[in-house]
Chain A
């Protein structure tokens, strides 16, 4: 199925006292690939600022902007129109022996290493190894995703942006970011190169054309088992026309949607809204 989707993502900060200076980077522009066609993308800020665009090491489009007049709220609105389709099932498949080859270990080294969000954990690794038994690498990705889906309870607001895969697992609950990190920790434990994907999910499978729904900032994973392919452990579904991807990286830190530095007192995040409209 092919959809055309408009995404309007609003995020930002509110400050206790006026901020006179802030420097920010937004990673909010959907990418372009075989499954997804970016038709138009625009970034607007309030107060207005001139954005400087560049492509970072991971291939993500970054909008960088700075503000120099006093403001008590920063609002960032990223709007885009994308055409999406369903991801075909992965065609190439490698064996466990091939995944251990020097070539694969070298080429995908960054996607096999531990990070702050995706730390090594003995018990989790043992679970991952037991799930691998009798399965191919591809089947293992699905089995691990299902295990994560069944193990964590989806709980909005329970974990901050600073919690790791292990924190979420020990708490038994989390949001899509935690589902993704936990899946990565287990896949890397059994030697499957895997990466974090940030993006959006349209929440209504039977949406009518022209209907606007409340979407979500979302995260899922991609694994390399001969080629890169994605899976959504939060919902235990494959990647389809309702998924819009923005960035990939080793973990959340490589793709954080909005980060910056400002001078002033404490900031609170404003309510994030993602409006998604099916256009075709």
Chain B
């Protein structure tokens, strides 16, 4: 009976005629069947009837609406619908990915320190000076600012994808104000409420302690004070990530402030409170560089704090992430990551980049223009998928416009072959269908260690064949499960007292009825 329903649920899943059939499916190997990582998840899903799937999905939606009350109260719409099938990463896959992310963060830290200091990498002829000086986010205002513990990348979001062979590759680095970690925590919370049974069958590593790591990193960054005062600086409630700003401030137990709450006097930053002024030591800011200090940047910005940059220069306050980090996540500079890694660490990349053409090199420029209809062209700066042109999907008119833009500003563009992002089963209608995903792991640097949150934001493209995972393109998200090593004592999700069953019953067949009841009861609490 379960065979019949399985055929329904996964019916035609690996259809060879599906778009991008060459993509790596994370659940199914075309020859060997279900991959080890997904074995238990598959065994749990397989017996479900399509109607069960719908019931589960509705339970998930209710849980989201439940939390959505919080969201709408704070003026936030939830941009990513959460899919009910989690994305699973094995302990060994994660360990490789984690090492690669740590290596990258370390190299980029050294790079930023050098670029805003002596620029030795340029003096040694490893990188052209023009590569740096032409970068839109190379902020000369930050030259000579040396953070007390040397950290500039307190939080990094390194976007990775899995190629046709299943190997992780870095698509882009985000070193300014990477957002999305609140979805990682909220997705997990929701999934744990709706699918406690699934967590009982897996050793999923916890993501709920992110704020502990962030706070530790921010406190470690403080300029020589024993009990530093940390604040989160937000542009305000109308910012699309305000929910995340307030969540992080709440979880860290620190003040959430706006620019007008802060004041610079004699290069010291103070927080205005009802009990008078409080000195501020570390500002975790979620405001772009350009709006941070009207003395140094956009003069009519009211979001920031006048005098903040020189307070940081004087060593009296730490801005996290540091000003000018955008020079490290410029997509042209990204193409030089192998050189940067070799220069500062003497290492080769543990995580390869996606092959990239540099439009500013004449030879590659010509090739990009020749093959515009098969390449993906991206602006070197900016995020959120803005300005990206998928050659194969573009009309001749769009390609012509893109050709003009690239010719006018070759430094502003890079091109990549279409990467067939890996697929994970995703609920589409009443069936599970392969849909393309990416992953943003979050790394936190406290100056001693780079901690990578075991999980990350998995974004999924919902339309069939779509490789664009941005929320504006109808993207959703998945809970990302990093499995604990078999013999480890790592805290797994829902292992604590009072949360689910601590015992693992690996070979047990999932029972549907009672679990659904459990889920529904939780909804009513």
Residues of A within 8 A of B (CB): 21, 23-25, 50, 52, 54-58, 64, 66, 68, 105-107, 109-110, 113, 259-261
Q: Which residues of B contact A261 (CB under 8 A)?
A: 294-295, 299, 306
A219 to B267, CA, bound (A): 31
Q: Which residues of B contact A56 (CB under 8 A)?
A: 140, 143-144
Question: Besides A105-B130, A106-B128, 6 other CB < 8 A contacts?
Answer: A21-B306, A24-B295, A52-B266, A52-B314, A54-B313, A109-B129
Given A56-B143, A57-B143, A23:B264 Cβ within 8 A: yes
Q: Which residues of A contact B313 (CB under 8 A)?
A: 54
Q: Which residues of A contact B295 (CB under 8 A)?
A: 23-25, 259-261
Q: Which residues of B contact A50 (CB under 8 A)?
A: 266
Q: Which residue of A lies closest to B138 (CB)?
A: A57
How many A-B pairs have beta carbons closer than 8 Å: the answer is: 49
Given A23-B306, A54-B310, A66:B129 Cβ within 8 A: no
Q: Which residues of B contact A52 (CB under 8 A)?
A: 266-267, 310, 314
**Chain A to chain B: the 4 pairs with minimum beta-carbon distance, closest first:** A57-B140, A57-B143, A109-B130, A23-B306
B133 at the interface (CB under 8 A from A): yes
Q: Which residue of B lies closest to A21 (CB)?
A: B306
**What string of 1s and 0s marks CB contacts (under 8 Å) between B132-171 and chain A?**
0110000011011000000000000000000000000000
Given A23-B306, A66-B264, A66-B265, A106:B129 Cβ within 8 A: yes
The smallest beta-carbon distance between A166 and chain B, in angstroms, is: 20
Q: Which residues of A contact B307 (CB under 8 A)?
A: 23, 66
B264 engages A109 (CB within 8 Å): no
A58 to B265, CA, bound (A): 26
Given A23-B264, A109-B130, A261-B295, A64:B144 Cβ within 8 A: no
Q: Which residue of A lies closest to B131 (CB)?
A: A106
Number of B residues with CB within 8 Å of any CB on chain A: 21
Q: Which residues of A contact B267 (CB under 8 A)?
A: 52, 64
In the complex, which residues 372-425 of chain B have their Cβ closer than 8 Å to any Cβ of chain A?
A: none
The smallest beta-carbon distance between B125 and chain A, in angstroms, is: 9
- The DSSP consensus for interface residues of chain B is loop
In the complex, which residues 306-326 of chain B have their Cβ closer than 8 Å to any Cβ of chain A?
A: 306-307, 310, 313-314
Q: Which residues of B contact A110 (CB under 8 A)?
A: 133
Q: Which of B141, B299, B310, B314 has the most CB of A within 10 A?
A: B310
A56 to B141, CA, bound (A): 7
Could you give 28 example pairs across A and B, Cβ below 8 Å?
A23-B264, A23-B306, A23-B307, A52-B310, A52-B314, A54-B144, A55-B144, A56-B143, A56-B144, A57-B140, A57-B143, A57-B144, A64-B310, A66-B266, A66-B307, A68-B265, A106-B129, A106-B130, A109-B129, A109-B130, A109-B133, A109-B134, A113-B134, A259-B295, A260-B295, A261-B294, A261-B295, A261-B299
A259 to B296, CA, bound (A): 10
Q: Which of A25, A57, A113 has the most CB of B within 10 A?
A: A57
A261 to B263, CA, bound (A): 13
A105 to B131, CA, bound (A): 12
The smallest beta-carbon distance between A102 and chain B, in angstroms, is: 9
Q: Which residue of B lies closest to A262 (CB)?
A: B306
The smallest beta-carbon distance between B167 and chain A, in angstroms, is: 35
Q: Which residues of B contact A113 (CB under 8 A)?
A: 134
Q: Which of A68, A107, A109 has the most CB of B within 10 A?
A: A109
A109 to B360, CA, bound (A): 14
Q: Which residue of A lies closest to B128 (CB)?
A: A106
A54 to B311, CA, bound (A): 12
The smallest beta-carbon distance between B140 and chain A, in angstroms, is: 4
Q: Which residues of A contact B129 (CB under 8 A)?
A: 106-107, 109
Q: Which residue of B lies closest to A259 (CB)?
A: B295
The smallest beta-carbon distance between B360 and chain A, in angstroms, is: 12
The smallest beta-carbon distance between A264 and chain B, in angstroms, is: 13
The smallest beta-carbon distance between A43 and chain B, in angstroms, is: 15
Q: Which residue of A lies closest to B143 (CB)?
A: A57
The smallest beta-carbon distance between B361 and chain A, in angstroms, is: 12
Q: Which residues of B contact A259 (CB under 8 A)?
A: 295
Q: Which residues of A contact B314 (CB under 8 A)?
A: 52
A21 to B134, CA, bound (A): 35
The smallest beta-carbon distance between A65 and chain B, in angstroms, is: 9
Q: Which residue of B lies closest to A260 (CB)?
A: B295
**What string of 1s and 0s marks CB contacts (under 8 Å) between B327-371 and chain A?**
000000000000000000000000000000000000000000000
Q: Which residues of B contact A109 (CB under 8 A)?
A: 129-130, 133-134
A1 to B266, CA, bound (A): 43
A218 to B267, CA, bound (A): 31
Q: Which residue of B lies closest to A64 (CB)?
A: B310
A56 to B145, CA, bound (A): 10
Q: Which residue of A lies closest to B142 (CB)?
A: A57
Q: Which residues of A contact B266 (CB under 8 A)?
A: 50, 52, 66
Q: Which residues of A contact B265 (CB under 8 A)?
A: 66, 68
A66 to B267, CA, bound (A): 8
The smallest beta-carbon distance between A113 and chain B, in angstroms, is: 8
Q: Which residues of A contact B310 (CB under 8 A)?
A: 52, 54, 64
The smallest beta-carbon distance between B74 and chain A, in angstroms, is: 30
A206 to B500, CA, bound (A): 94
Q: Which of A25, A52, A68 has the most CB of B within 10 A?
A: A52
A143 to B505, CA, bound (A): 88
Q: Which of A25, A56, A58, A64 has the most CB of B within 10 A?
A: A64
Q: Which residues of B contact A58 (CB under 8 A)?
A: 140
Q: Which residue of A lies closest to B267 (CB)?
A: A52
**What string of 1s and 0s marks CB contacts (under 8 Å) between B275-311 and chain A?**
0000000000000000000110001000000110010
Q: Which residue of B lies closest to A54 (CB)?
A: B313
A68 to B299, CA, bound (A): 19
Q: Which residue of B lies closest to A105 (CB)?
A: B130
A178 to B130, CA, bound (A): 27
The smallest beta-carbon distance between A173 and chain B, in angstroms, is: 28
The smallest beta-carbon distance between A35 and chain B, in angstroms, is: 25
A54 to B140, CA, bound (A): 13
**What string of 1s and 0s marks CB contacts (under 8 Å) between B101-132 and chain A?**
00000000000000000000000000011100
